[in-house]
Amino acid sequence: MPYQRNYPRTADEVLDPPVVFKQSVIDAVTNFKTMGAWTGNLQEKFAKFQTLNDSLNEVYGLNVALINDIGVENDSPGSSGSSYFNPSLNEIHLQGKLSVVTFLHEYAHALDKDERDAVRWSLNLFRQVFPTQFAALGRQGHVVVVQRVVPVVEHVRGV
């Protein structure tokens, strides 16, 4: 998430009115949820993110590559805040730790969305498919999203 320009100031302003997604997008993320997004070791979890990335590529007719910069062992230190989308290489690089909202945020950049729309797209999609985890964010999510989407997911992990 290198771009901070146009970053929304609150979560509320990007959640209402809600984004209406194609059913195929909802299905892709729901399938990911069914696989157990937060279970397994890092390699197993990354494989699920890869499946989700492939499914979204299919829906949108894209060929975005998902790159694991985290490594194979350590999924705990730091945040995913240094993750980014590289438009010239068409690559999403996940760094720090695996984060669902961060991945969706970067995929939104691959869809050519600016910062505000990337936050809007990823948070709305997360809310629709993971309502329990999203609700658990409460006011913290509201506050945190002002700075970065990433800590929202750290807060969610293990819920």
Token representation of residue 13: 């302003």
Nearer to Zn ion, 13 or 44 (CB): 13
CB of 44: closest distance to Zn ion in angstroms? 26
Token representation of residue 152: 């929202």
Nearer to Zn ion, 70 or 118 (CB): 118
Nearer to Zn ion, 31 or 82 (CB): 82
Rounded Cα distance between 126 and 118, Å, is 12
Count of residues that interact with Zn ion, criterion CB under 5 A: 2
Decide if residue 29 touches Zn ion (CB under 5 A): no
Decide if residue 1 touches Zn ion (CB under 5 A): yes
Q: Which of residues 92-151 bind Zn ion (CB under 5 A)?
A: 118
Decide if residue 37 touches Zn ion (CB under 5 A): no
Nearer to Zn ion, 37 or 104 (CB): 104
Q: How far is CA 121 from CA 77, 112, 136, in A?
A: 27, 11, 19
> Tokens 């499946």 sit at which residue?
51
DSSP assignments along 61-95, one per residue: T---EEEE-S-SS---SS-STT-EEETTTTEEEE-
The residues of the shown chain that bind Zn ion, judged by CB under 5 A, are 1, 118
